[in-house]
Structure 1
Amino acid sequence: MVNSDRLWTRIQELSLIGQTSDNGVTRFAYTDIEKEAYEKVKHYMQEAGLQVTYDSIGNLIGTLPGADNLPTILLGSHIDTVPNGGKFDGSLGVLTAIEVLQSLQEQNIKLNHPVKVIAFKDEEGSRFGFGMIGSLAVAGNLKADHLQWKDANGISVHDAMVKHGYDPNKIQEAKMDNIKLYLELHIEQGKVLEKENVPVGVVTGIAGPLWLKFSLKGEAEHAGATPMNQRKDPLVAASLIISETEKLAKKYEHAVATVGTLSLTPGGVNVIPGSVEFTIDIRDINEEILDQLEKEIRDYASKVVEERGIHMSIVELQKIAPVLCSSTIQETIQESIAELRFPVISLPSGAGHDGMQFKDSFPIGMIFVRSQDGISHNPKEFTSKEDVKIGAETMLLTLSKLDQR
């Protein structure tokens, strides 16, 4: 089985890189902090006896060779974070994959297939507002246009890559071929497993995230001198749209819609706002429902701004179709959980993951590990050492079974 003490120690060590004052973690893509974290993970991969390299965009890859004539099994997750996030999101998947391969080698258990552990670049999208850069590249779908997205300081993905020694003209070299499957372990980031009192679960599919940016323009005027019936206040219009978005999402069983950013100008206490920008993150496991909810939000927003004389533009920042996990991989995970004598729970993922990028390339599967109180993207994010161990042992058994099939 796995060395749970070693895995737990690595989780704690990695969390110190980018640690915030309240024990959260902030690690953004193409920063010195992230580079330090990658070098730490690189060291862990080398300790595990893996052949380690960075690809053309900065994904960190550790390889355990197998038979040359067999396709590669891909394991992994990410080590970047949201602002002041937790220590388990993403990192647990990378470190568990490393631990599984190290434990197998220490027990002289040979796998037939080559296996690669990959720490994907910028899954969260926290810096540039555009996520899954690394997995997009591995799928062969990262385009030059994607590299023009900019952070809050006006630095583009392109320029950040160049600064850290990567060539934006070689992004297609990161594409991987001859992959048998992709398997990822991740914290649940929800309360289903905790409610069912089980440590691990089988992911049935991943809800598709749709990110929209709304820009509303009205007229900035004096707050005291402008009568209420003569105002073109984009913030009031935005508040109506935001409120209705919540109501619309609640109509559907698994749909969620979240306003995550909101800004207004000029921002004076005695000035009616002239412009407002906000984002809406819409998700559902069913693509038809996702599309229907988007239409309803757009239709309502159009009605509001027309009634109030507000100019509106909507930009689609990102749209990824929902993805179903491979039935074969699901069944194999179920067998592994049953072998460890735990109840088998299957559930969808409301959060997006790198595996979504591979839906047209090769089969994917995911293992969820219980999250305390369902908290994630927060310094309070926590998964117990015992649950981490059970998750790792589930992954080891699953990998071993998939290697034989």
Structure 2
Amino acid sequence: MNQASNKGATIMRWADDLASHSEAEGMLTRTYLTAAHSGAAEQLGQWMREAGMSVRRDAAGNVIGRYEGQVADAPVLLTGSHFDTVRDAGKYDGNLGILLPIACIAEWNRQGKRFPFAIEVIGFAEEEGVRFKATLLGSRACAGTFDNSVLDKVDDQGQTMRQVMHAAGFNSQDLERAAYAREKVLAFVEVHIEQGPVLLDESLPVGVVTAISGATRFLVQATGLAGHAGTVPMTLRRDAAMTAAEIGLTIEKRCSGIPGLVGTVGQLAVPNGAANVVPGKAVFTIDIRAETDDVREAAVNDVLQAMQEISARRRVSLDINKTHEASSVPCAGWLQQQFAEAITASGIPLRYLPSGAGHDAMAIAAIADVAMLFVRCGNGGISHHPDEIMTVDDAETAAEVFSRFVEHFKPQH
């Protein structure tokens, strides 16, 4: 077995081992600063030390392994991803981006290979936002953009984030010290499963991410007039559910056929609905994402305008609340080029694609140029689900590409 395949097998074995750190029996759930989360952090730290890194925890609970450069206090190439999960998660979302560089560094350490720069692998403590409904906590701390107001958010047990951090041995007053100095960071690169079917459908193991899509989300309540399903004529109905349905189809049509643009109605409910009642109320969500902000904003404006026309025509009122907005984050061209060269040198056809999901790289972009390497998912691209899979061969290939990238890395400054 060659070294690449050794790394691939190691990555997959570590992913299995890390999945044993879970809050729930029979499924993978690992949320911020639970006992399972702390166990995973200890395990990551152990693997980092065995790979030849020094290890530290910052005030947000991030696990950071540093592989020193040829000289002390060298500028740093950052990499990593998150080790918290959604509920009933897959093994590779986030975790792959920590385990893969550790495996590569372990091999360089065995070879005695050092670089003109240091490498730090960050296991971000919180990205998904499950426990406190606040995302990217770990990476925002590293970027110096942590919003201290989230410290007052409470979990399902009524504990504030500040209390939970203190109980776990972390002082929220030290969060500012977790931030990296911009001048010390050469770049941030993140390896991540695609969480979609593009690479799978094109039989490609890896791809270069062009941008992390921005997103706009709304929670909408449609209010019409309930009535008897048998006695209210179709022409006199003020049907809230059909208003929501027409809006959903409008979103689907507006967001089709434009590369990188997607629109989703992910939740649609008819409160207190019954089979023989014209719905008087419907509640639904809207999620619109695009690779570039101008495309997303144009779609959002068109959808909002269409919603007003639909609601007026159907005589149904709409209460529209924007719940989230994030700008797109382009991946730096110079880093994309170096990933492209590493992929081509590995004999793999080149594929560029956007990421429709959010990632820690979005937060780190505040202090450094960022790039991402996508790795193929199996099972039709299913992610955030226990059926999320990838192969040993793809882990091998991604490790080879990442190794080439680092070994030939040319900083911009």
TM-score (normalised: structure 1): 0.87
Cα distance, 1:363–1:42 mapped onto 2, change above 3 Å: same
Hey, what does 1:70 align to over in structure 2?
A: 74
Cα distance, 1:162–1:402 mapped onto 2, change above 3 Å: same
Q: Does 1:40 align with 2:48?
A: no
Q: Does 1:302 align with 2:308?
A: yes
Q: Does 1:284 align with 2:290?
A: yes
- 2:179 counterpart (175, 178, 198): 175
Hey, what does 1:60 align to over in structure 2?
A: 63
**Offset from partner CA, 1:11-61 (integer Å, 9 cap, x none):** 11112222867x752222233332222222222222223222221122221
Segment of structure 1 superposing worse, 345-354 or 64-73 = 64-73
- 1:338 counterpart (336, 339, 344): 344
Hey, what does 1:383 align to over in structure 2?
A: 390
Hey, what does 2:91 align to over in structure 1?
A: 87
Alignment of 1:123-138 (within 5 A): 123-138=127-142
CA distance in 2, matches of 1:169, 1:362: 24
Where in structure 1 are there 5+ consecutive unaligned residues? none
Cα distance, 1:114–1:297 mapped onto 2, change above 3 Å: same
Alignment of 1:116-155 (within 5 A): 116-149=120-153
CA distance in 2, matches of 1:391, 1:307: 53
Three-state SS of the structure 2 residue aligned to 1:402 is: coil
Segment of structure 1 superposing worse, 134-143 or 313-322 = 313-322
Hey, what does 1:374 align to over in structure 2?
A: 381
Hey, what does 1:401 align to over in structure 2?
A: 408
CA distance in 1, matches of 2:263, 2:40: 32
| AA matched with 2:220 | F
Give the drift of 1:148.
Answer: 4.6
Cα distance, 1:38–1:278 mapped onto 2, change above 3 Å: farther
| AA matched with 2:50 | E
CA distance in 2, matches of 1:19, 1:385: 26
Q: Does 1:110 align with 2:114?
A: yes
| AA matched with 2:331 | C
In the comparison of the two structures, how many residue pairs are matched?
A: 403
Three-state SS of the structure 1 residue aligned to 2:38 is: helix
Hey, what does 2:334 align to over in structure 1?
A: 328
Give the drift of 1:242.
Answer: 2.5
Give the drift of 1:165.
Answer: 3.6
Hey, what does 2:14 align to over in structure 1?
A: 10
Aligned-pair Cα RMSD in Å: 3.0
- 2:32 counterpart (13, 29, 33): 29
Three-state SS of the structure 1 residue aligned to 2:265 is: strand
Where in structure 2 are there 5+ consecutive unaligned residues? none
Give the drift of 1:289.
Answer: 0.7
For the 8 Å contact 2:227–2:280, the answer to whether it is kept is no
Alignment of 1:112-261 (within 5 A): 112-149=116-153, 156-177=160-181, 178-216=184-222, 227=232, 234-261=240-267
CA distance in 2, matches of 1:58, 1:233: 49
Segment of structure 1 superposing worse, 123-132 or 393-402 = 123-132
Segment of structure 1 superposing worse, 3-12 or 382-391 = 3-12
Cα distance, 1:301–1:404 mapped onto 2, change above 3 Å: closer
Give the drift of 1:105.
Answer: 0.5
| AA matched with 2:30 | R
Give the drift of 1:274.
Answer: 6.8
| AA matched with 1:84 | D
| AA matched with 1:298 | L
% same residue? 31
